[in-house]
Each structure stands twice: as structure tokens, then as C-alpha cells.
């Protein structure tokens, strides 16, 4: 029984020692004093001035441009086909090579037409002699005018037949309608070629066409000659182009208008069908106010910026318009010389005390 009491007493002493060390020892008092001091400092920081950076507002020049996307198109593009059917007797181009306008590319069997043309030429020669003799006889009044007209008509008919045969022979030749690069061929020598068969694709990509759409609101700012700069994923080079044609009507679904520009492509760095990132230069605004985007705080009715006045933050409603990558245009609400708060925006409230750490001019 006594042993149990002794154990209880020892446990009580241990607990008492722990409580003393926790709350009443010199070390505990020192820690408590430090915590009290820290809390006091923290409370003072909440009520003290907010350190901010200011920007002095001034008029700047703004290049009004927009970033859009578009597609690289060929200047000319055609799928080569034959006007007549027949066996292919010759292919005179190399896939992927450059061909000149009028160059013979494919030849179709034409011996039947050539033979018919040769026969017709003999008949023309005979008809010419007959027409000449009848002309002499007519002058001597040895034959009637009707007999001479018959011989002349026969000659002209044979000449017309000759023209028909020559046209048929020309249709057995497929020639390049313009200079450009020819693609992969879909036919082989000796194969049967029909008007429905695509021989290859011929593309002219110098200059290249850049097709893109512009929002309706910018329609009055785009015209022939408007400058365009763009990049493509296949090259690190920045390309230049100029608008040369504008679609006369607006797309009712997207409310955009299609615009086309031309870009020089002497090295063939641009490929038809490529995706283009376009920067379109619209106009230049000589005097306007631009502030960092993060300065503008959206509000229920408008946007607000905070300015420094007599050591405190003052909220000013503003109207905004154009945006760049890092700035936004202020069209009303600020004037040159205002000191706009550009940091600590999350802590801004009307009449909050401010401490200036840097002024940006």
C-alpha cells in the first residue's frame, strides 16, 4: 500500500517539474518575451505603410499592331492532267525539280494523228494547185465563178482539217503552264493516261501568299500596302509581306475579313500549307498613356488604378483600350505626371499609407 503512494508522489513530482520548466523557468520566460515582441512587430507591420514602386505617367508613341495566325499559300498551284487519253510514250521531268513555263513534261501516243496530218498536207498541196489553175482559168473566163469558189472552198476545208489535227496532237503533250517546282509523279512510262488522272502537282512559291483573317473592328485600318511580318515553325527567320488583296465581304460567322499578302521567297524557305504567326501593323498613335498591365485592377463597373497622393493610395477609375505583351493603353482617367502604383497591388486599398522605394520615369 505504501509502495503505491510512493509511486503516486514520484509521478506528481515529475509532472510538476515538467510544468515548471515549460512555463516558469528562465528559458520559458525568455521565449515568451520573444513571442510577445514578435506579435507586436507583426501587428505594427499590418498597420504600417506599404512599400511600393511608382511610375510617372507620360505620353508615349504606340505602334498599333495585332498578332494573328494565317496560312502560307503558293503563288500558283495546279494539278497537271492530260486533255486526251492514251498510252504515255515519254516523261520528261524529274520529281521535285524546277521546270520552266512551256516545258514538255509528258507525251501521249499520237502517231495516228501525225499520220492523218501528213495525209492532209498532201491533199492541201494538191488543192492549192487546183485552186491556182482555176484562178487562171477564171481570169480568162474559161470557167465560171462557181467552179472557182468550189475549188477555193475545198482548199480552205483541208486547211481547217489540218488545224484540227494539229490541235489534237498538241493535246497529247502536257506542258508546264508556269515556272515552278513539280512534285511527285503519279504515272509511269507506258501507262494509260486518262483526263481523270493527275500526273503531278506544279507549284510556284515565289512569291508566297500569306492568307489570314482580321477582326471586323480593324477593317478601316487595313488596306493595300499594309505591312505584315510573320514567322513559320520551319525557320527562325522573320519574313516581311505586304497586303495586296482584301475580300470584299465579311464572314458572318466569325465577323472577320480575309486578307492576303505577298512575301518574297527566293530561297524557298516558305512552304505552301505552313502555319504562320503574323504581326499586322495597323497604325501609329503619336500620344497616348501606357501602363503595366498588372497596374489595372478590374472593377464591377470599370477598371481602377492606384495613384500616390499625399502619402496615400487613391483609386482612380480608368478606361482602357489596346494591349501589348506587357502594357495596356489608358484612354481616360490618367494624365501625364500622375504617379501610378506598379507594385504591391494586392495590398492596395483607398487611403492606404504608402512608402516609396523606387520611382520609374
Average pLDDT over residues 262-290: 87
CA end-to-end span of the chain? 87
Q: Is the pLDDT of residue 227 over 90?
A: no
Q: Any idea what the CATH number is for the domain that residue 349 is in?
A: 2.40.420.20
Residues 7 and 38 in one domain: yes
- pLDDT value at position 63? 72
Q: Is residue 206 part of a domain?
A: no
- Is the alpha carbon torsion for 272, 273, 274, 275 positive or negative? positive
Mean pLDDT of the chain: 85
**321 within a domain of the structure (yes/no):** yes
The 3 state secondary structure assigned to 200-246 is EEEEECCCEEEEEEEEHHHHHHCCCCCEEEEEECCEEEEEEEEEEEE
Mean pLDDT of 347-354: 90
Number of structural domains (the chain) is 2
Q: pTM value?
A: 0.60
| Residue 284 pLDDT | 72
pLDDT score of 178: 93
Do 6 and 59 lie in a common domain?
no
**Domain annotation covers residue 263:** no
Q: Give the model confidence (pLDDT) of 135-183 as tens digits.
A: 888 888 888 899 888 989 999 999 999 999 999 899 999 999 999 999 9
Cis omega (within 30 of 0) for bond into 26:
no
**What is the rounded CA–CA span in Å between residue 269 and residue 205?**
10
Mention every residue, 6+ apart, whose C-beta is less than 8 A from residue 7. none
On whether residue 81 sits in a domain, the answer given is: no
Based on the fold, state whether residues 37 and 55 are members of the same structural domain.
no
Same domain assignment for residues 290 and 332: yes
Identify whether residues 7 and 55 lie together within a single domain. Answer: no
Q: Say what the pLDDT of residue 23 is.
A: 55
Q: In whole angstroms, what is the distance from residue 212 CA to residue 68 CA? A: 8
The mean per-residue pLDDT over the stretch 195-218 comes to 91
Whether residue 276 lies inside any domain: the answer is: no
- Let me know if residue 248 belongs to a domain: no
Asked if residue 74 belongs to a domain, the reply is no
Residues 42 and 55 in one domain: no
Q: How confident is the model at residue 44 (pLDDT cuts 50, 70, 90)?
A: very low
Say yes or no: 305 and 351 in one domain.
Answer: yes
pLDDT by residue (tens digit) across 234-245?
A: 888 999 999 999
> Would you state the pLDDT for residue 79?
93
* pLDDT higher than threshold 90 for residue 299: no
Rounded to the nearest 10°, the torsion over CA 171, 173, 179, 182 is: 120
Residue 103 lies in a domain: no
Mean pLDDT of 28-36: 48
**Degrees to nearest 5, angle at CA 137 with 136 and 141:** 120
Do 56 and 39 lie in a common domain? no
Based on the domain organization, do 57 and 18 belong to the same domain?
no
Please name the residue that has the C-alpha cell 470557167.
Answer: 143
3-class DSSP state of 345: helix
The domain in which residue 24 lies consists of 2-47
pLDDT tens, 312-341?
999 999 988 877 778 888 888 898 989 999
Amino acid at each position: 500500500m505504501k509502495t503505491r503512494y510512493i509511486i503516486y508522489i514520484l509521478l506528481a513530482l515529475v509532472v510538476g517539474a515538467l510544468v515548471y520548466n515549460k512555463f516558469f523557468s528562465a528559458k520559458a520566460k525568455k521565449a515568451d518575451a520573444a513571442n510577445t515582441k514578435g506579435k507586436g512587430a507583426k501587428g505594427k507591420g499590418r498597420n504600417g505603410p506599404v512599400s511600393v514602386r511608382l511610375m510617372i505617367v507620360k505620353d508615349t508613341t504606340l505602334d498599333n499592331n495585332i498578332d494573328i495566325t494565317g496560312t502560307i499559300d503558293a503563288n500558283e498551284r495546279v494539278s497537271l492532267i492530260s486533255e486526251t487519253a492514251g498510252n504515255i510514250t515519254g516523261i520528261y521531268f524529274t520529281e521535285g525539280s524546277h521546270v520552266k513555263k512551256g516545258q514538255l513534261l509528258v507525251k501521249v501516243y499520237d502517231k495516228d494523228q501525225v499520220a492523218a496530218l501528213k495525209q492532209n498536207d498532201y491533199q492541201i498541196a494538191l488543192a492549192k494547185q487546183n485552186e491556182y489553175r482555176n484562178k487562171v482559168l477564171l481570169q480568162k473566163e474559161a470557167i465560171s465563178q462557181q467552179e472557182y469558189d468550189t475549188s477555193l472552198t475545198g482548199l480552205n476545208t483541208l486547211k481547217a482539217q489540218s488545224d484540227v489535227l494539229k490541235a489534237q496532237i498538241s493535246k497529247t503533250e502536257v506542258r508546264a503552264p508556269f515556272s515552278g517546282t513539280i512534285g511527285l509523279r503519279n504515272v509511269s512510262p507506258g501507262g494509260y493516261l486518262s483526263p481523270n488522272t493527275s500526273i503531278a502537282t506544279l507549284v510556284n512559291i515565289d512569291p508566297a501568299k500569306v492568307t489570314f483573317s482580321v477582326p471586323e473592328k480593324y477593317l478601316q485600318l487595313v488596306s493595300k500596302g499594309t505591312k505584315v511580318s510573320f514567322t513559320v515553325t520551319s525557320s527562325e527567320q522573320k519574313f516581311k509581306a505586304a497586303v495586296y488583296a482584301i475580300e470584299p465581304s465579311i464572314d458572318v460567322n466569325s465577323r472577320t475579313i480575309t486578307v492576303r499578302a505577298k512575301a518574297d521567297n527566293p530561297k524557298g524557305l516558305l512552304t505552301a500549307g505552313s502555319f504562320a504567326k503574323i504581326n499586322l501593323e495597323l497604325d501609329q498613335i503619336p500620344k497616348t498613356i501606357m501602363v503595366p498591365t498588372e497596374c489595372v485592377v478590374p472593377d464591377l463597373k470599370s477598371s481602377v488604378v492606384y495613384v500616390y497622393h499625399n502619402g496615400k493610395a487613391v483609386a482612380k477609375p480608368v478606361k482602357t483600350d489596346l494591349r501589348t505583351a506587357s502594357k495596356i493603353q489608358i484612354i481616360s482617367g490618367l494624365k501625364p505626371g500622375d504617379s501610378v502604383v506598379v507594385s504591391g497591388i494586392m495590398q492596395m486599398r483607398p487611403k492606404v499609407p504608402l512608402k516609396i522605394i523606387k520611382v520609374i520615369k
